[in-house]
Structure 1
Amino acid sequence: MRQAAAVAFGVFGYFLVRGHTEGARDVALAHAAQVEGLEERLGIALEPQLQAWVAPSESLRTMANWVYIWGHWPVITVTMIWLAWHHRELFLRLRDAMLVSGALGLVVFVTYPLAPPRLANLGMVDTITDHSQSYRVLQPPAFTNQYAAMPSLHSGWDLLVGMAIFSAASTLTLRVIGFVLPVLMGLAVVATANHYVLDVAAGVILALLGDAVARRAEQHRHRRRRLTQQAEP
């Protein structure tokens, strides 16, 4: 529980800093235009098309909203408690990866404020705010930054959680959940107009960097443990 409390404190600090790094609207919109232009050149400007497919359908829209809302913090919390109780090494790896990627994400939030699609005059609808109030309870406005679209740590952290679930799973069902969770989140953050495709890619990259650092730390712990055991009489 002490480790879980440390993670909770780190997450609270992350959102506290993020909430107080609100970028200037004009700068965030200018960056949005840059991202939109780059996506068009790369042929991956899929945000309007994806929302046009999802938003008119109440069932698909609700599914996207639920994945975005309930597939993030509730899933992260339950997974970390489970790992801390039954799979300590995987818990430590996930903890370290989230802290490292979160710290890198804060640097990007501060240096590159970015308006999400829902605020970038793309004609897209904020399906979360328009159709659900749950998210405002799980993540109060005081801890949010409207111009922190890059990177999408919804996608990045769900990838880390999915990897941890897949690694710890003893059943096919859990492995499928671990594999599908980050895919659904990647689609949901774009369909709800909260992130660009490039935000998702950036979130994944930072998550994988965090995971690489966490695995090095894990190897260091193992070496130190072996040396301690060898030194014992």
Structure 2
Amino acid sequence: MADRSYAKHRLGPLLPTRLRPVTRPRPWVELAFTALLYWAYTLTRNAVPAHRFAAVRRAHEIWDAERELHVNIELAVNHTTDKVGWLIVGMNYYYATLHFIVTIAVLVWLYARHPARYRAVRTGLYTATLLALAGFAFFATAPPRFLAGQGFIDTVVVHHTWGSWASGDVASLSNQYAAMPSVHIIWSTWSGLTLAFLARRTWVRVLGVCYPVVTFTVILATANHFVADAAAGAATLAVAFLLQRLLTGREAYPTLRQPQGEAAR
């Protein structure tokens, strides 16, 4: 009876069987998806100049709202960490590099070691990224470091870290008004969940849990995101996995209802 009730309330699938295979996709298909995402990002980057004033205005509105709610911890974290030189420089490099390195590494590991889970878990990531890009296009938001007069320290510029936002080349390759939602939180939370649910070794699962927490600290310390941006990033990922479930009818990660044999290698 319980099984019937669960089946009755199960979400999805909305897609026909032929459009929701469980086998591992070919590498060229994944490369095509990646190229599509980069092209979509390029569209949002090219629209940056037109969004500048609205983006800064929204940032001020977010900061004011956070102060009203007493969740405005960004400035304190930013100033506290900036007092420790090696720590803040390390965080600058963390922000600039691990964002891509860890996500790509987890994707490759997932593809190689968990082919049966790959499509569902990857779809959650790609859907969340596309939703974030839509947010950048229609709700451009400046990072805290752009709020003149509020006391935020642009740690990358102040400490002359490699890849400084003040560099023309770096600024031309990145969307400077893409704070809401935080893709750093989307990608780090996705990576952390994937390792926490699918990794076999306990220490890897623990790292998976810690990774988004550390990333959250870093994005505040470097004045690149508000608390609201992080919350929006987590919500975006949750919506993406819900959409994935509606489309395929499959859960991305193992649940307690499934046998232990489903555990990842």
TM superposition score normalised by structure 1: 0.85
Q: Does residue 172 of structure 2 align to residue 142 of structure 1?
A: yes
**Conserved in 2, the CA contact under 8 Å of 1:4 and 1:80?**
no
- Equivalent residue for 1:41? 68
Percent identity over the alignment is: 25
Map 1:166-181 to 2 at 5 A: 166-181=196-211
d(CA) in 1 for partners of 2:125, 2:143? 22
d(CA) in 2 for partners of 1:95, 1:185? 20
Map 1:103-142 to 2 at 5 A: 103-121=130-148, 122-129=150-157, 130-134=159-163, 140-142=170-172
1:112-171 deviation line (CA, Å, top 9, x unaligned): 22111111112222223443225779x953332211211101111210111111122000
- Equivalent residue for 1:10? 36
**Conserved in 2, the CA contact under 8 Å of 1:113 and 1:149?**
yes
d(CA) in 1 for partners of 2:214, 2:251? 33
Determine helix, strand or coil for the equivalent of 1:72.
helix
**Conserved in 1, the CA contact under 8 Å of 2:163 and 2:170?**
no
d(CA) in 2 for partners of 1:6, 1:59? 39
Task: For structure 1, list consecutive stretches of 5 or more residues without a partner in the other structure.
Answer: 223-233
Q: Does residue 221 of structure 2 align to residue 195 of structure 1?
A: no
- Equivalent residue for 2:6? none
**Conserved in 2, the CA contact under 8 Å of 1:165 and 1:174?**
yes
**Conserved in 1, the CA contact under 8 Å of 2:145 and 2:152?**
yes
Map 1:1-233 to 2 at 5 A: 1-22=27-48, 23-121=50-148, 122-129=150-157, 130-134=159-163, 140-219=170-249
1:151-194 deviation line (CA, Å, top 9, x unaligned): 10111121011111112200011101110111111111111011
**Conserved in 2, the CA contact under 8 Å of 1:71 and 1:181?**
no
**Conserved in 2, the CA contact under 8 Å of 1:98 and 1:157?**
yes
Task: For structure 2, list consecutive stretches of 5 or more residues without a partner in the other structure.
Answer: 1-26, 253-265
Determine helix, strand or coil for the equivalent of 1:71.
helix
**Conserved in 2, the CA contact under 8 Å of 1:21 and 1:109?**
no
Aligned Cα RMSD in Å?
2.4
Instruction: Name whichever of 85-94 and 50-59 sits farther off.
Output: 85-94
1:190/1:171 Cα in 2 relative to 1: closer, same or farther (>3 Å)? Answer: same
TM superposition score normalised by structure 2: 0.76
Q: State the shift of 1:46 in Å.
A: 1.0
Question: Residue 51 of structure 1 aligns to which amino acid in structure 2?
Answer: N
d(CA) in 1 for partners of 2:92, 2:196? 24
Q: State the shift of 1:221 in Å.
A: 10
Instruction: Name whichever of 13-22 and 198-207 sits farther off.
Output: 13-22
